Amino acid sequence: MPMDLNIGDRVELKKQHPCGNHIFEIARTGMDFRIKCIECGKQLWLSRSKLEKRIKKVTPKMD
Protein backbone atom coordinates (compact mmCIF):
# COMPACT_ATOMS: atom_id res chain seq x y z
CA MET A 1 0.00 0.00 0.00
CA PRO A 2 1.68 3.23 -1.11
CA MET A 3 1.96 6.09 1.31
CA ASP A 4 -0.35 9.04 0.84
CA LEU A 5 2.06 11.70 -0.39
CA ASN A 6 0.95 14.93 -2.00
CA ILE A 7 2.51 18.08 -3.34
CA GLY A 8 3.13 20.49 -0.49
CA ASP A 9 3.43 17.81 2.19
CA ARG A 10 6.51 17.91 4.34
CA VAL A 11 8.47 14.78 4.99
CA GLU A 12 11.06 14.11 7.61
CA LEU A 13 13.78 11.81 6.32
CA LYS A 14 15.90 9.40 8.31
CA LYS A 15 19.06 10.69 6.73
CA GLN A 16 19.78 14.38 6.90
CA HIS A 17 20.75 16.56 3.99
CA PRO A 18 24.37 17.77 3.95
CA CYS A 19 23.11 21.18 5.14
CA GLY A 20 21.95 19.56 8.39
CA ASN A 21 18.22 19.69 7.73
CA HIS A 22 15.89 16.66 7.81
CA ILE A 23 12.70 18.25 6.48
CA PHE A 24 11.84 18.29 2.79
CA GLU A 25 8.79 19.53 0.91
CA ILE A 26 7.26 17.46 -1.86
CA ALA A 27 7.39 19.44 -5.09
CA ARG A 28 6.30 16.79 -7.56
CA THR A 29 4.66 13.38 -7.34
CA GLY A 30 4.38 10.49 -9.78
CA MET A 31 6.74 7.66 -10.67
CA ASP A 32 9.52 9.88 -9.48
CA PHE A 33 9.23 12.41 -6.73
CA ARG A 34 10.94 15.74 -6.49
CA ILE A 35 11.59 16.97 -2.99
CA LYS A 36 13.01 20.28 -1.87
CA CYS A 37 15.15 20.85 1.18
CA ILE A 38 13.35 23.53 3.18
CA GLU A 39 16.62 24.79 4.62
CA CYS A 40 18.88 25.24 1.60
CA GLY A 41 16.31 24.92 -1.20
CA LYS A 42 18.17 22.20 -3.08
CA GLN A 43 15.92 19.83 -5.01
CA LEU A 44 16.34 16.08 -5.33
CA TRP A 45 14.70 13.48 -7.52
CA LEU A 46 13.88 10.11 -5.96
CA SER A 47 11.78 7.14 -6.99
CA ARG A 48 8.70 6.59 -4.85
CA SER A 49 10.10 3.37 -3.39
CA LYS A 50 13.36 5.01 -2.37
CA LEU A 51 11.58 7.99 -0.90
CA GLU A 52 9.15 5.83 1.09
CA LYS A 53 12.03 3.89 2.61
CA ARG A 54 13.71 7.10 3.74
CA ILE A 55 10.68 8.76 5.28
CA LYS A 56 10.42 8.93 9.03
CA LYS A 57 7.38 11.17 9.26
CA VAL A 58 4.89 12.91 6.97
CA THR A 59 3.30 16.24 7.83
CA PRO A 60 0.38 16.88 5.47
CA LYS A 61 0.05 20.29 3.93
CA MET A 62 -2.15 22.71 5.85
CA ASP A 63 -4.93 24.27 3.81
The site for Zn ion (CB under 5 A) is made up of: 17, 19, 21, 37, 39-40
User: Rounded to the nearest whole angstrom, what is the least distance from the CB of residue 63 to Zn ion in the complex?
Assistant: 26
Count Cβ neighbours within 10 Å for each residue of 27-57 and write b for 16 or more, e otherwise.
Answer: eeeeeebbbbbeeeeeeeebeeeebeeebee
User: Rounded to the nearest whole angstrom, what is the least distance from the CB of residue 20 to Zn ion in the complex?
Assistant: 7
User: Rounded to the nearest whole angstrom, what is the least distance from the CB of residue 38 to Zn ion in the complex?
Assistant: 8
Whether 35 and 52 have beta carbons less than 8 Å apart is answered as no
**CB of 39 or CB of 52, closer to Zn ion:** 39
